[in-house]
Structure 1
């Protein structure tokens, strides 16, 4: 728990630990995407704990899932900003007693957060995984515009019409967005239960997503659109693994600057995945991440 100067209440961060943080094995802290979903969909990363005895830490970011919510702060950009989440991550690392020795994985929006955290060169960070994320909001928007043109024309028309008329909360818009998600977010049908639960959490309280992002992945109007690591990625000094899928909304153009700029980096793409390779190619994903975390540098 922690206090924030602009709130009148105590903030609590929900976290879950798989494995033993005192085992002597360096833990992996996992930062979920959204922003606005919960960490439920990352629970399966505990496969790595079962297979390699690596402790895994998951947590729900402030305003999300089982952590403290601030619906009264909807639209308040002085509150919902990157620094809030970076501060929360550091507080969690200190609280768990692992700030001096940990690995970090960030998915989607979480990848943006961990990349920013990493350029501050915290002494305890040993390895970094940036998974299905982007090096800048502008690159993300460009990629979504390209992917959107691959949708059926009637779906494109529905998206255009609803955005123009300001009816992005309509059933028509949500159904059109679902077509996009089925191609570039999660290709599994039905969507895995943990993912459904994470989305249910966001639907119950969309404050963070609507404020920081906007109505959809490709209609980004919040401050995330201005995110950029293009001038800072070269400062990431730890060994870094980049991951995305062949049909990922985090297209190659979003990931490439990280590959170009980070000195100690490798990039692996999953041929049969979109945005959630840990479900779509689960066994292979766990093997590759596990090997990266345990190999000698």
Structure 2
């Protein structure tokens, strides 16, 4: 990576209802001006975490000469935070982040030719973006993302039932009491994470940094999702892209893990309704296959992005 160009910057993002100037922070690994492959723009998950856990994808700049764009969605990480908008479901709308993506693409001058990688919430956002049929989108990757949040909720609830009974009882107790900040509840969340989020014995620092950011400012996560992965009570509760999937006219790659919190039935609508689609499952992974089976992940993703 030492010979690969890395540029960080900020782009102004006009959000009149924010009440203050906003900006989107981004990082580009690779040379956008002299590229031989189309750039890959990454959409991180959460909603409410940061780009950091996706940084392993930087290696595509070396292995496949693909410039990779990372950014923190507004409300997160190094972009503008708006904790005063906590709970404001009108402000934190899907359109906000779709507009932000368009704004970044234009700023970087790649709006006419780019690929998109969306993980978890990022894949949901990416699917919606693709359904609008932007002319410059040439490849789409949807990784571990439910097509309908009702399926995502059902998946999480099913997986909770696979945890030890005492863990289930503790989760239920705190859900009923709404004592989600209690250490006992948070310990149960970690047990769930170790099974269905990331099965690595030692989590990388880039992943831990995302949780540090989330702890600093949980505004977006709490407003859209709720108190935990398996308790979606926020504004995303009615979200679905299924009716619009047939409108996605770009070649699409679906990715998820065998032990993923987003189980196969959550991904199935993408496979069923997107006209040009391929699906790859990672047998040793949970929700973060790019960290859990990195070598194979690069083979699959790199091959998909460079195949014409």
TM-score w.r.t. the length of structure 1 is: 0.99
Which of these residues, 161, 183, 186, is aligned with residue 174 of structure 1? 186
Aligned residue pairs, count: 296
Superimposed CA distance per residue, residues 58-111 of structure 1 (whole angstroms, 9 cap, x where no aligned partner):
000000001000000000111011110111001000110000000001000000
Structure 1 gap segments, 5+ residues each: none
Partner of 1:202: 214
Confirm whether residue 4 of structure 1 aligns to residue 4 of structure 2: no
Cα distance in 1 for residues equivalent to 2:59 and 2:296: 11
Cα distance in 2 for residues equivalent to 1:81 and 1:171: 31
Cα distance in 1 for residues equivalent to 2:79 and 2:267: 30
Confirm whether residue 37 of structure 1 aligns to residue 78 of structure 2: no
Cα distance in 1 for residues equivalent to 2:265 and 2:74: 30
Partner of 1:215: 227
Which of these residues, 13, 16, 20, is aligned with residue 24 of structure 2? 13
Query: Any residues of structure 2 matched to 1:68-147 within 5 Å, and which?
Result: 68-147=80-159
Cα distance in 2 for residues equivalent to 1:18 and 1:185: 26
Partner of 1:294: 306
What displacement does 1:257 show? Answer: 0.5
Which of these residues, 195, 207, 210, is aligned with residue 183 of structure 1? 195
Partner of 2:7: none
Cα distance in 1 for residues equivalent to 2:140 and 2:237: 23
Confirm whether residue 237 of structure 1 aligns to residue 249 of structure 2: yes
Secondary structure of 1:54's match?
coil
What displacement does 1:7 show? Answer: 1.8
What displacement does 1:23 show? Answer: 2.0
Cα distance in 1 for residues equivalent to 2:201 and 2:284: 14
Superimposed CA distance per residue, residues 222-263 of structure 1 (whole angstroms, 9 cap, x where no aligned partner):
111111011111110100000000000010011001000000
Contact 1:3 1:9 in 2 (8 A): no
Cα distance in 2 for residues equivalent to 1:176 and 1:2: 38
Cα distance in 1 for residues equivalent to 2:124 and 2:198: 20
Cα distance in 1 for residues equivalent to 2:13 and 2:189: 36
What displacement does 1:189 show? Answer: 1.8
